[in-house]
């Protein structure tokens, strides 16, 4: 059984840069093979891990800049997702079912996180009437 990650306009959160980063997560997830090839899977997981970590740092910086009151909770969610992704990356992908289960985890995670957690932040931005950007950001959490 195949899982495809199809971007839909309902996933748009209101910030073009973050929307592009979310689309990149979809692309990386779609690059996971349906048939077992552990070397390719591990390489894609590593790329995804790196991209997601960078994305979370940028997103948290934006939240801090605008004074998002749920920053600590959102950061905790990010940390938990990174930990789960890291844990999964150490598993052996010794059958096609394990690849499917990993893709399902990614699918559930990105859809839930974008649709619930990230959209909550952008609702806050809109209500505050502010803009969020991350120009000239470094990669350190602040």
Domain hosting residue 27, numbered range: 14-31+39-128
Instruction: Tell me how many domains the chain contains.
Output: 1
Report yes or no: 13 and 122 within 8 Å, Cβ to Cβ: yes
Does the residue 3 lie in any domain?
A: no
Does the residue 19 lie in any domain?
A: yes
Does the residue 79 lie in any domain?
A: yes
Does the residue 1 lie in any domain?
A: no
Is the pTM higher than 0.75? no
Does the residue 121 lie in any domain?
A: yes
Does the residue 73 lie in any domain?
A: yes
What does the pLDDT read at residue 95?
Answer: 74
> pLDDT of 19-72, one tens digit each?
888 888 888 878 776 666 677 777 888 888 888 889 899 989 988 988 999 999
Does the residue 60 lie in any domain?
A: yes
Query: What does the pLDDT average to over 67-96?
Result: 86
pLDDT of 129 above 80: no
Q: Which residues contact 66 (CB under 8 A, 6 or more apart)?
A: 124, 125, 128, 130, 132
Report yes or no: 134 and 21 within 8 Å, Cβ to Cβ: no
Indicate the angle between helix axes 96-112 and 71-89, nearest 10 degrees: 170
Does the residue 120 lie in any domain?
A: yes
CATH number for the domain spanning 18: value is: 1.20.120.50
* Residue 133 pLDDT level (bands cut at 50, 70, 90): very low
Query: What does the pLDDT average to over 135-142?
Result: 36
């Amino acid at each position: 059984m195949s899982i495809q990650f199809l971007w839909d306009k309902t996933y748009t959160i209101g910030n073009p840069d973050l929307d592009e980063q979310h689309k990149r997560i979809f692309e990386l997830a779609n690059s996971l093979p349906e048939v077992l090839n552990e070397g390719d899977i591990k390489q894609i997981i590593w790329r995804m891990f790196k991209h997601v970590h960078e994305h979370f740092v940028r997103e948290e910086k934006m939240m801090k800049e605008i004074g998002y009151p749920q920053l600590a909770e959102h950061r905790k969610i990010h940390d938990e997702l990174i930990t789960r992704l890291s844990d999964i990356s150490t598993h052996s992908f010794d059958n096609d079912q394990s690849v499917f289960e990993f893709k399902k985890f990614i699918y559930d995670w990105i859809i839930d996180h974008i649709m619930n957690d990230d959209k909550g932040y952008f609702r806050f931005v809109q209500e505050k009437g502010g803009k969020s950007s991350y120009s000239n950001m470094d990669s350190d959490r602040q």
